[in-house]
Amino acid sequence: MPRCIHVLNGPNLNRLGKREPEVYGRTTLAEVEAMCRAEAGGDEVVFRQTNHEGQLVDWIHDAIDSEAAGLIINPAGLTFRSIPVLDALKMVKAPIIELHISNIHRREAIYHQSLVSTVATAVIAGLGARGYATAMRAMRDMLDA
């Protein structure tokens, strides 16, 4: 069965390209998805975005139940205070890469304390949208090791 890597995106990321371009750049979410698929090689990709905490939790459960080989997640604003997202991620047995387009540690203090980082295998932050391609390559390298 081919490996499947799930890429999950949280609130407001549907507005990439026009949302605070000075912070997030001008790459759209559709372009980000295309980058992920271009880097996937022979692996399958599930790519999703939601503005709703419960939907993100359900999609983490889906990654678990479908035995996703790896999970790349940009929880966006749900990174910092969402116990439901954290609790769902604690059930994930596959590698988790936490991804942020911006360097959250160089931004306002509200963005400095990630709950997700307490369970993530690795964290990528500050590479801009190309961080997604980096995360996909890193995930595939981990799975191939």
Residues that bind ligand DHK (CB under 6 A): 12, 74, 76-77, 79, 100-102, 104, 111
Quick one: 55 or 143, whose CB is closer to ligand DHK? 55
Catalytic-role residue among 100, 105, 112, 132: 100
Least distance from ligand DHK to the Cβ atom of residue 7, Å: 13
Verify whether residue 24 is a known catalytic residue: yes
Verify whether residue 100 is a known catalytic residue: yes
CB 124 within 8 A of CB 138: yes
Least distance from ligand DHK to the Cβ atom of residue 42, Å: 27
State in Å, rounded, how far the first CA of the chain is from the last one: 18
SS3 76: helix
Least distance from ligand DHK to the Cβ atom of residue 117, Å: 12
